[in-house]
Amino acid sequence: FSYAENLIEEIIDRYDGGSPKTVYYIKQVGDEKELVIIKKYYENGELKSQEKRKSGKEFETLWYYENGQIAAKGNYLGAVRVGAWTHYYENGEIRTKGSYSYKTDTGYVSPREGIWTEYYENGQIKEEASFKNGKPEGGWTYYNKDGSVEKKEIYKNGVMER
């Protein structure tokens, strides 16, 4: 992430060896201060995660493996995952892709929504699954590592029909 404005860097906590664990980047306009970026580090100094405020309580988030590869990217609204998320294997290949919806009126907190795709480490699709309000809904297809179909299932309201 990059931020054009000059930001105040504030180290929130450190590891026993003195290296930063959590760093806040704060934008100040007059007397108003706004937290805009949060960075967390592994003890070896590598970046563990960074969150950039999009608006209000919504943050765009990147998580990293200790080797520097991206582990996951997506958005949080407060502490709840929302919108599109992608998780990666340590080799950089996509592990899963899908979306979360945030519905307070239904009692669901960030359920999976729509199509979720899981991949083998070689990049082949492992599973395609459909969700509605966090429950399996519609067709699910499972694949072998060579890309051939292993099996198919149909769900309705979270219950497998066939």
Distances (CA, A) of 141 to 1, 12, 26, 78, 155: 36, 46, 46, 33, 11
What was the pLDDT predicted at 18? Answer: 92
Q: Say how many C-beta atoms besides its own lie within 10 A of residue 71's C-beta.
A: 18
Residues 6+ apart with CB under 8 A from 105: none
pLDDT block averages, 10 residues each, the chain of length 162: 70 94 91 90 95 87 96 89 94 94 62 92 95 91 96 94 87
Give dist(CA 132, CA 14) in Å, integer: 42
Helix (H) or strand (E) holding 134: none
> Residue 105, CB half-sphere, CA atoms under 13 Å: how many?
0
pLDDT of residue 5: 61
- pTM, to two decimals: 0.83
Residues 6+ apart with CB under 8 A from 86: 72, 73, 74, 94, 96, 97
Q: What is the pLDDT of residues 73-95, one digit of tens each?
A: 999 888 888 889 999 999 999 99
pLDDT on residue 3: 53
pLDDT reported for residue 1: 47
Please give the pLDDT value at position 4.
52
The residue type of 110 is: S
